[in-house]
Amino acid sequence: MMRVVIDTNILVSALISSVGKPAAIIDAWLDGKFTLLTCATQVDELRTTFKKPHVAKLIKRHEAGRLVNQIKRIAETVDPLPPVQRSPDPMDDFLLAMSETGQADYLVTGEKSGPLALGNHKTTRIVCATNFAALVP
């Protein structure tokens, strides 16, 4: 089964709009089409992002809480993470470390100036949500 890291921005986008590629990707994960990888750093980042006023206006609190709980319960946690300093955005280095530790097939992100600019990290392909959604049956 495919092993996938999904950037926090994609997870948040999936809750902002129930139509679109990010939401379809989360639905595919919940349907068991791939294994989602996560780590404590990402869960913390997700919680922090959901509390930001501009995000909190767009996402109902219970929906944010449900997604965090699903990730904690269903996703495979990969910790501890190795030090990685490769992303154009140093705040995204943990995603590369998670991909490496979890032997991810894909890292899905929407940040063109971040990890997406790399194209890959070791054996992990870095793709946008549109390209990844096309790969998931």
Instruction: Supply the pLDDT for residue 113.
Output: 77
| Average pLDDT along the chain, 137 residues, taken 10 residues at a time | 97 96 97 98 97 97 97 97 93 96 97 86 97 93
- Give 37-54 pLDDT, tens digit per residue: 999 999 999 999 999 999
**Which burial class, exposed, middle or buried, applies to 131 when counting CB atoms under 10 A from its CB (0-12, 13-18, 19+)?**
middle
- HSE at residue 61, side-chain half, CA atoms within 13 A, is 2
Whole-structure pTM value: 0.96
Identify the burial level of 77 via C-beta atoms within 10 angstroms of its C-beta, where 0-12 means exposed, 13-18 middle and 19 or more buried: middle
Q: Domain 3-135 is of which CATH architecture?
A: 3-Layer(aba) Sandwich (3.40)
Per-domain residue ranges of the chain:
3-135
